[in-house]
Amino acid sequence: MNRSLKTMTAVAAAAALSIGFVSAGHAATQTKIAFVMGAEADPFFQAMKVGAQAQATASNVNLVWQGDPSHYDVQTEVPIVDSVISQAPDGLVLIPTDPTGLQASSDKAVAAGIQVANVDTHVADLSKVLTFITGDNGDGGAKAADAIAGAIKYTKGKTYQVVVGLTSKTATTNVARLDGFKAQIAKKYPGIKIKDVAYSASNPQTASSNVNNWLTKYPNLSGIFAIDGTNASGAAAALQSKKLVGKVALVGYDAYPANVALLKKGVFTALIAQDPAAEARLAIKTLVAKIVNGKNPAKRDVVIPNVALTKSTSAANLKKYTYVAN
Amino acid sequence: MTDSKQDQLKPAGIGAGIAKLFSNQSILLVAVILVLGIFFSIQSGGDFAKVMVFNNILTDWGSIILLAVGQTLVVISGGIDLSVGATVSLSSVVSAFVMMNVFKWDGTITGDAATVPLLVGTLIAVLTGAAVGVVNAILINVAKIVPFIATLATLSAAGGLAIIISGGQPLQGPSNFSLISAFGDPRLNPFSFMIIAVIVVVVIAGLFIHKAKLGLYTYAIGSNTFAARGAGINVERHLTKVYVLSGVFAGLGGMYSYIRLGAGSPTSGSGMELYAIAATVIGGASLMGGVGRILGTVLGTLVLYTVQSGLLMINVSPDWKQIVVAILIAGAVAVQGFKFTSKRSK
């Protein structure tokens, strides 16, 4: 081997070693957390991303943000989660689009030594999950029932027709909100009858179509509970095109900026808002505490309250709860 | 085949007449719509027969038919365009973004004051759709990627771009709900301005496809590409036109969605490509190419939304909708197969 070749080999070896040391040092100090959410196109998850990124920077976390661009669907989420697991992160924040469909992937992550947190929705068996952080969806559904009852000036002895627009039959948030809505109606407003439910599959045009058909089928419809942001957008458009704003109470979920603007215009009677950024921040904090310091959360399940926004909500609170995107 | 065998295959008398009548896919679809209409009207206690239900069906029909017309053209050429749903999302979002950020037209502009902004928005949506069509054509003609994969790639890219541009949020720009409302001009009820505009576009497209060189070349390429090339047709140039037109129709569909929702939404076209393909197939087009009629596609789309609206009006679980659509597609393909077999046996 001539001298120049030896020199080159030595330089290459030194470079490789130094890269190795830097990588090792980097890996030793920076925790890697993967965050797999439902659908990137949903402003709820955009707001969550803002919170996750802020906390990742504060906690020196290498954040891997993943999920389907637009479909809130178990069939697209499973391969994404499995691919993320193969990257061997220290922690995984998972928003399961289906409680049973994502169970195997969640178990696989735990078996690979990855700490798993569930946010917003959860897998069927939470026993191996470090923490589950969610908005109080049941309470949100109850607040929606209160808002509709208030808007229609509910009177005992009278009957009222309402309908509910959902995105999916199995998403645990949809189910919890509907259960909370039904329970509150049974408890406090027995005169309110839920006439029908329909699914929009995350498409606001489908949500609008469902409401158009309901408005024709139930000419005496008193209220609509649009159980998430997509249904809220579609229902608001249908009421405006049928010139029924103010005549049918509309309670939506999720404080998209566009929906908050429609609340101010009186199209929505009320909007139930969550705090997705706070949920994401807490999930990353909890995972870092476990991964870096071995510290378990004080309690596994954490519920962050939902709030009902109305036209009379203060400007400061409207701003606070409006979902902010990047 | 011997004469005696042919005689055995031919239905006789009135049966033969009925069989001949129903071998025409369009007549069959009209019959299906009538039967469905009567069935849903009886089951809903007359609710389904209301004029407003017809308006609801037409409003839904308008959201898909533009995509389905483009899809029919592509399918006749022997290809497929999976990108149309994502193009709806992208064009509605780009249109809203440009109106709001370039021209500074925001959600406070409503009613008649929104006419000029919405016309500009339509132009932007059409250009966006055409751009997606150009990309599809380049992938298919230059990169030699099969249409299924090429348009699958643009579906993904257009969907991603829609999210990036909108930040995942519906963008609420100028709006005029009177354009999509049956109450906008009561004289038009159950039609609305937008439904009439869509019908005009579909009729013009139908004339070009069935009466002009555009259609003739498309049928020729879809039937036999080698023969079409041999006859002097520049296949690549013509396919470019076909995919750009499909993109233009999807762009118009994006603007329809914008006007319907009063906002550009990154999920407004989610899954619509499958409905457009389903309507095309139910309408009698063959995914093998060379076969398809715009009238069939118009009726196929009406069948889909008559079913969707009808099931909701009679309180059938939404889960059944998918099953019924699957049965309709299978039935349409079976009818095609039957017609093909009958023709060959003659």
What does the pLDDT read at residue B197?
96
Distance CA A130, CA A294 (A): 12
Distance CA A250, CA A211 (A): 11
Considering only alpha carbons, which residue of chain A is nearest residue B317? A198
- The minimum CA-CA distance between B272 and chain A, rounded to whole Å, is 9
User: What residue has token string 């021209």?
Assistant: B103
Structure tokens at A59: 């906690």
Structure tokens at B251: 């762009």
Considering only alpha carbons, which residue of chain A is nearest residue B266? A41
Residue A233 and residue B272: Cβ atoms within 8 Å?
Answer: no
Q: Which residues contact B207 (CB under 8 A, 6 or more apart)?
A: none
Residues of chain A neighbouring B156 (CB-CB closer than 8 A)? 69
Tell me what percent of the residues of chain A surpass a pLDDT of 70.
Answer: 90
Residues of chain B neighbouring A37 (CB-CB closer than 8 A)? none
Q: State residue B278 phi and psi, 5-degree precision.
A: -60, -45
Which residues of chain B are under the pLDDT cut of 50?
1-11
Considering only alpha carbons, which residue of chain A is nearest residue B164? A41
Residue B261 and residue A326: Cβ atoms within 8 Å?
Answer: no
Q: Which CATH architecture has domain B45-334?
A: Orthogonal Bundle (1.10)
Residues of chain A neighbouring B52 (CB-CB closer than 8 A)? 216
Residues of chain A neighbouring B50 (CB-CB closer than 8 A)? 216
Distance CA A65, CA A84 (A): 10
- The answer, for A217 touching chain B at a CB cutoff of 8 Å, is yes
What does the pLDDT read at residue A8?
52
Residues of chain A neighbouring B312 (CB-CB closer than 8 A)? 196, 198, 210, 213-214, 217
- The minimum CA-CA distance between A243 and chain B, rounded to whole Å, is 8
Nearest alpha carbon to residue A272 among A248, A258, A246, A251: A251
Residue A205 and residue B53: Cβ atoms within 8 Å?
Answer: no
Q: pLDDT-derived band of residue A19, with 50, 70 and 90 as boundaries?
A: very low
Interface of A with B in 44-83 (CB under 8 A): 45-46, 69-71
Distance CA A15, CA A168 (A): 53
Q: Which of A40, A75, A216 to mutate to test the interface with B (most CBs of B within 10 A)?
A: A216
Nearest alpha carbon to residue A33 among A130, A117, A102, A128: A117
Higher-confidence residue: B312 or A2? B312
Distance CA A122, CA A125 (A): 8
What does the pLDDT read at residue A37?
92
Beta strands in A200-264 (DSSP E): 221-226, 249-253
Considering only alpha carbons, which residue of chain B is nearest residue A40? B168
Residue A256 and residue B271: Cβ atoms within 8 Å?
Answer: no
As a whole number, the mean pLDDT across chain A is 89
A135 forms beta bridges with: A304
- The answer, for A325 touching chain B at a CB cutoff of 8 Å, is yes
SS3 label, residue A63: strand
The closest CB to that of A43, out of B53, B168, B260, belongs to B168
A194 forms beta bridges with: A162
Q: What is the pTM of this model?
A: 0.81
Amino acid sitting at position B125: A
Residue A77: pLDDT above 70?
yes
pLDDT tens digits for B227-256?
A: 999 999 999 999 999 999 999 999 999 999
- Answer yes or no: is the ipTM higher than 0.85: no
Domain ranges (residues) in chain B:
45-334
* Residue environment code for A123-155, b if the CB has 16+ CB neighbours within 10 A, otherwise e: beebeebbbbbbbbbbbbbbbbbbbbbebbebe
pLDDT tens digits for A254-300?
A: 898 889 999 999 999 999 998 899 999 999 999 999 999 999 999 99
What does the pLDDT read at residue B69?
97
pLDDT tens digits for A296-313?
A: 999 999 999 889 999 999
Residue B267 and residue A202: Cβ atoms within 8 Å?
Answer: yes
Q: Do B248 and B126 contact (CB within 8 A), yes or no?
A: yes
What does the pLDDT read at residue A46?
86
Cα of first residue to Cα of last residue in chain A, in angstroms, is 56
Beta strands in A95-220 (DSSP E): 115-119, 131-135, 160-166, 192-199
Q: Edge to edge, what strands does the sheet with A301-304 contain?
A: A61-68, A31-39, A91-94, A115-119, A131-135, A301-304
Stretch A48-73: mean pLDDT? 90
Is A121 exposed, middle or buried, given 0-12, 13-18 or 19+ CB atoms closer than 10 A? buried
What does the pLDDT read at residue B22?
58
Asked, as a colleague might, if the bond just before A190 is cis with ω within 30 of 0, I would say no
Q: Report the run of H or E that residue B207 belongs to, with start and end.
A: helix B193-211
Nearest alpha carbon to residue A112 among A92, A139, A133: A92
pLDDT tens digits for A142-196?
A: 999 999 999 999 999 999 999 999 988 877 789 999 999 999 999 999 999 999 9
Rounded to whole angstroms, what are the CA distances from B132 to A194, B32, B99, B157? 43, 35, 20, 10
A91 forms beta bridges with: A33, A115
Residues of chain B neighbouring A242 (CB-CB closer than 8 A)? 181, 183
The closest CB to that of A198, out of B89, B107, B312, belongs to B312
Q: Which of B41, B56, B88, B166 to mutate to test the interface with A (most CBs of A within 10 A)?
A: B56
Considering only alpha carbons, which residue of chain B is nearest residue A68? B160
Residue B313 and residue A42: Cβ atoms within 8 Å?
Answer: no
Q: Which residues contact B58 (CB under 8 A, 6 or more apart)?
A: B190, B191, B192, B195
Residue A21: pLDDT above 70?
no
Q: Do A121 and A171 contact (CB within 8 A), yes or no?
A: yes
Residue A6: pLDDT above 80?
no
Residues of chain B neighbouring A323 (CB-CB closer than 8 A)? 169
What does the pLDDT read at residue B337?
67
User: What residue has token string 């709001």?
Assistant: B100
Structure tokens at A151: 């808007």
- The minimum CA-CA distance between A43 and chain B, rounded to whole Å, is 5
Residue B260 and residue A258: Cβ atoms within 8 Å?
Answer: no
Q: Do B62 and B304 contact (CB within 8 A), yes or no?
A: no
Residue A24: pLDDT above 50?
no
Higher-confidence residue: A315 or B346? A315
Stretch A106-113: mean pLDDT? 94
Distance CA A62, CA A82 (A): 19
Considering only alpha carbons, which residue of chain A is nearest residue B186? A242
Amino acid sitting at position B256: Y
Nearest alpha carbon to residue A173 among A50, A49, A61, A38: A38
What does the pLDDT read at residue B341?
63
Kind of pairing, strands A192-199 and A221-226? Answer: unpaired
Nearest alpha carbon to residue A115 among A242, A296, A250, A246: A296
Beta strands in A234-320 (DSSP E): 249-253, 270-273, 301-304, 307-309
Q: Determine the number of helices (DSSP H) and then strands (DSSP E) in chain B.
A: 14, 0
Nearest alpha carbon to residue B169 among A233, A277, A306, A71: A233
Which segment, A38-42, A121-125, B120-124, B337-341, is predicted with the most confidence on average? B120-124
Determine how many CB atoms are found less than 10 A away from the CB of residue B295: 16
Distance CA B74, CA B81 (A): 7
Residue A41 and residue B47: Cβ atoms within 8 Å?
Answer: no
What does the pLDDT read at residue B88?
97
User: Domains plus CATH for chain A?
Assistant: 31-135+275-304 (3.40.50.2300), 137-273 (3.40.50.2300)
Q: Do B34 and B41 contact (CB within 8 A), yes or no?
A: no
Q: pLDDT-derived band of residue A43, with 50, 70 and 90 as boundaries?
A: confident
What does the pLDDT read at residue B19?
61
Distance CA A107, CA A112 (A): 9
- The answer, for A257 touching chain B at a CB cutoff of 8 Å, is yes
SS3 label, residue A67: strand
Residues of chain A neighbouring B262 (CB-CB closer than 8 A)? 236-237, 240
Q: Which of B267, B305, B311, B314 to mutate to test the interface with A (most CBs of A within 10 A)?
A: B267
